[in-house]
Amino acid sequence: MERTVQDILASYSASSSLAEAYTIPAPWYTDNRIAELERQNVFSRTWQQVGRAEQVARPGQYITTTVASEPIVVMRGSDSVLRAFFNVCHHHAMTVMNEPAGHAQHMRCPYHGWTYNLEGELRGMTEFEGVCHFDRAQNGLVPVRVETWENSVFVNLDPHAEPLVDFLGALVRLAQPLGFGDLKFVERRSYTLDCNWKVYVDNFLDGGYHVPHMHKGLNSVLDYTNYTIENVDRCCVQSSPISIDDKSEASAAATRKGDRAYYFWQYPNFMLNWYEGYLDTNLVIPLGVDRCEVIFDFFFGDTSESQMPYIMKSIGVSEQVQQEDIAICAGVQRGLSSRAYRAGRLSVRREAGEHLFHRLLAADLKDIRAVSAP
Ligand code: FES
Ligand SMILES: [Fe+2]
């Protein structure tokens, strides 16, 4: 007999100490009903990064995206106010804006030509004379919460959500000295992985546990034994001293600068990896119960032409690490579907970040407000 969702949720105990804890059980990574519950209780209620502030700096600039399967457009109005909307036409539901990003004078639906202004108000309907009881003012695009922090734009589908800075909590204070806002965007890379989105997050949060085994190049420039892991609010900060010697791999040694590396994770699916003069952000988007997209945006302090060889080499080091992680994540997803595996234990020294992630997730999934009956 198929297990109920309640039964699957109840099989994880969030009250165990790290030394006693198990991971969330395998069905949380493989059951479509859990993925749907995450869509409702996690991705429809948390602040989700959707792009970069410089993409929507000027009136008419916009970003389109998908959050919790909902089409969204973020638009800078002609009054310079940043707004977000469900990107759904009131006529017959076509997505109004259909480029990933750009600049527009107004928002024109491509299907039958209805037009909305940059503030989302419906301005023009073609061939609609004689239609009764139609209030144009009630047919503007439906608004969504939008706020910015440092380089990033976030939206939240929950109209009652706390402000973004409150949601980010300690991250705002911890990241402030690193000067993310001074870094300039260089390139985006996107990857599709054959794993549940949480497998990628778990892999990020294992406190460097896998680094000596899977990332030889990266490991050669980190002081693994002095790696630190700190949980604050909804954030886990991992940090490692940089240690370069004659055994360090050459391209990693040339591109991972400064005294320390900082790896921030913000619940549920956003990461920031910082070295001196370098930042990449990672956004993990579920595409199905066993597939996800990971979007990397790369930023650098000095983006002058003479720095391009260094920048390309630096992105290359990240690409190498990412390819190694992609292979791990696909292997883990296969194992999670095996009858031989139920749940795992956590290293007290290394895996406190995963423990925080699993407890925050369990709290949201068990939140009765949106748990639907099986
Ligand atoms: S669906 Fe947009 S104009 Fe018809
Ligand atoms: Fe990794």
Residue-wise pLDDT for 204-240, tens only, equals 999 999 999 999 999 999 999 999 999 999 999 999 9
CATH number of the domain enclosing 247: 3.90.380.10
Give the ligand with the smallest distance to the CA of 320.
2
Give the ligand with the smallest distance to the CA of 111.
1
Please report, for residues 24, 236, 263, the alpha-carbon distance to residue 207 in angstroms, rounded to integers and kept in the order given: 17, 10, 10
Cα(374)–Cα(7) distance, rounded to whole angstroms? 10
CB atoms within 10 A of CB 58: 10
**Residue 81: pLDDT above 80?**
yes
Position in ligand 1 atom list of the atom nearest CA 125: 3
Ligand 2 ion local residues (Cβ < 5 A): 325
Give the ligand with the smallest distance to the CA of 208.
2
Same domain as 283, residue 171: yes
Ligand 2 center to 25 CA (angstroms): 21
Position in ligand 1 atom list of the atom nearest CA 109: 2
Question: Nearest residue CA, atom 3 of ligand 1?
Answer: 112
Same domain as 350, residue 228: yes
Query: Pick from 129, 160, 191: which residue ends a domain?
Result: 160
pLDDT tens for residues 146-174?
A: 999 999 999 999 999 999 999 999 999 99
Torsion of CA 237, 254, 52, 365, to 10 degrees: -30
pLDDT tens for residues 267-312?
A: 999 999 999 999 999 999 999 999 999 999 999 999 999 999 999 9
**258 in helix, strand or coil?**
coil
| C-alpha angle 17-231-209 in degrees, rounded to nearest 5 | 80
Ligand 1 center to 115 CA (angstroms): 9
Is 114's C-beta closer than 6 angstroms to any atom of ligand 1? yes
Domain region containing 261: 166-358
Same domain as 257, residue 116: no
| C-alpha angle 277-211-48 in degrees, rounded to nearest 5 | 60
Same domain as 177, residue 100: no
Cα(28)–Cα(342) distance, rounded to whole angstroms? 10
Same domain as 77, residue 226: no
* CA quadruple 111, 114, 117, 120: dihedral sign: negative
| Residue 254 binned pLDDT confidence (cut-offs 50, 70, 90) | confident
CB 91 within 8 A of CB 131: no
Same domain as 235, residue 128: no
Percentage, residues of the chain above pLDDT 90: 93
Is 89's C-beta closer than 6 angstroms to any atom of ligand 1? yes
| Residue 373 binned pLDDT confidence (cut-offs 50, 70, 90) | very low
pLDDT score recorded for residue 369 = 62
Beta bridge partners of 242: 222
Ligand 2 center to 205 CA (angstroms): 9
Which of 73, 86, 94 gets mutated to test ligand 1 (max ligand atoms within 8 A of its CB)?
94
Is 91's C-beta closer than 6 angstroms to any atom of ligand 1? yes
The answer to whether position 323 is within a domain reads yes
